[in-house]
């Protein structure tokens, strides 16, 4: 398998932030002058969510950072690739197929999803396994509500997710060098999937999801590392066995299936004790670094899911 760069250290993460910021400012200015939307934002439509108590005291990450500093390898491995290369991607029409160990397997269009479930505001921290983080105002609905609709059987223990495969619209999926065996896949234990914090997001910052953030539907599991938040989902399958997870397959010694944010368990190649908040001014020594919280600060809501598991060994 050809891996052209160590997994999870894309060039843009190595690039000093000042350089990437000025590159982005130039791009934004050029787009403004020409009256163009930044690629990928073109299809965003207004979307409001019901106000909820799911908030954090942290400052929101500016929308510009949320939508231009992304991991979405289907569009390339640099942080700026998803925003720059996703203009051709078509998030509509879109159908999600839900099956496996359920009483009512079905195919649901994104329109049906938008009208069947109450969209809610969810302001969550997102902590990437690469040790950077953001605070994002998502719009979405509990995954549990969708699971209720398909009625999981008693034998179902896990939920598996799959991203769309469209090499014609996703340049990172074509070409000779492929770091990932598409589709990108990930999964959750059923009780994690049913936790009230787990949502399927359909928007952010008052608009439908930009392509680069996983349009039209992506998973958000705020107590886990960001790679669990699989984007542009086309398939959801209830299973008895633990489903595959793209990063766990690529490097099982580096990325666990559970991937719960844990400052006490370092990644083999870097510390997980602190994180860099994207969009906040870097200090003299290169960083608005803050302490990483166990379960990303959501321990009260989720620690009970992992009773009996040794959380000092792996995440
Ligand atoms: N299909 C797919 N989903 C994905 C990824 C990806 O490369 N492909 N990257 C993951 C990683 S590593 C992170 S940190 C988050 C980033 O989400 P954001 O770009 O919306 O901030 O998406 C996750 N979901
Ligand atoms: Mo990530």
Which domains does the chain show, CATH number per domain? 16-126+137-243 (3.90.420.10)
Q: Is a pLDDT exceeding 80 seen at residue 175?
A: yes
91 upstream amide cis, omega within 30 of 0: no
Compute φ and ψ for 71, nearest 5 degrees.
Answer: -110, 115
In the numeric block, the tokens 């959380």 are attached to 311
Separation of alpha carbons 293 and 158, rounded Å: 26
- Mean pLDDT for all residues in the chain: 88
In contact, 133 and 273? CB cutoff 8 Å: no
pLDDT at 285: 61
pLDDT tens per residue across span 229-254: 999 999 999 999 999 999 999 999 99
71 C-beta closer than 6 A to ligand 1 = yes
Quote the ligand 2 centre to 171 CA distance (angstroms): 19
284 — pLDDT class (breaks 50, 70, 90) = low
pLDDT at 310: 83
Tokens of 292: 């990483």
Compute φ and ψ for 290, nearest 5 degrees.
Answer: -125, 160
Quote the ligand 1 centre to 67 CA distance (angstroms): 12
71 belongs to an annotated ligand binding site? no
Ligand nearest to the CA of 233: 1
């Amino acid at each position: 398998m050809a891996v052209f760069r160590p997994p999870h250290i894309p060039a843009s993460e190595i690039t000093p932030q000042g350089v990437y910021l000025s590159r982005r400012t130039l791009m934004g200015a050029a787009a403004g002058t020409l009256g163009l939307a930044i690629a990928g934002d073109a299809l965003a439509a207004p979307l409001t969510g019901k106000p909820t108590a799911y908030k954090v005291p942290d400052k929101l990450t500016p929308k510009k950072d949320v939508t231009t500093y992304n991991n979405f390898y289907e569009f390339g491995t640099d942080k700026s690739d998803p925003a720059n290369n996703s203009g051709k991607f078509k998030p509509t029409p879109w159908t999600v197929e839900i099956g496996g160990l359920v009483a009512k397997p079905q195919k649901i269009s994104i329109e049906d999803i938008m009208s069947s479930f109450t969209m809610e505001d969810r302001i969550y921290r997102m902590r990437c396994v690469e040790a950077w983080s953001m605070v994002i105002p998502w719009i979405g609905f509990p995954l549990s509500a969708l699971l209720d609709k398909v009625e999981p059987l008693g034998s179902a223990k896990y939920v598996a997710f799959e991203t769309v495969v469209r090499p014609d619209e996703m340049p990172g999926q074509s070409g000779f060098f492929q770091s990932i065996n598409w589709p990108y896949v990930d999964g959750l234990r059923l009780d994690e999937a049913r936790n009230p914090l787990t949502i399927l997001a359909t928007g952010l910052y008052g608009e439908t999801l930009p392509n680069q953030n996983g349009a039209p539907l992506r998973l958000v599991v705020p107590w886990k590392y960001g790679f669990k938040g699989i984007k542009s989902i086309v398939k959801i399958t209830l299973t008895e066995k633990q489903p595959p997870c793209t990063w766990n397959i690529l490097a099982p010694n580096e990325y666990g299936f559970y991937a719960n944010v844990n400052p006490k368990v370092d990644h083999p190649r870097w510390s997980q004790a602190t994180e860099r908040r994207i969009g906040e001014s870097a200090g003299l020594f290169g960083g608005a670094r803050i302490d990483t919280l166990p379960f990303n600060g959501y321990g009260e809501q989720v620690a009970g899911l992992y009773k009996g598991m040794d959380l000092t060994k792996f995440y």
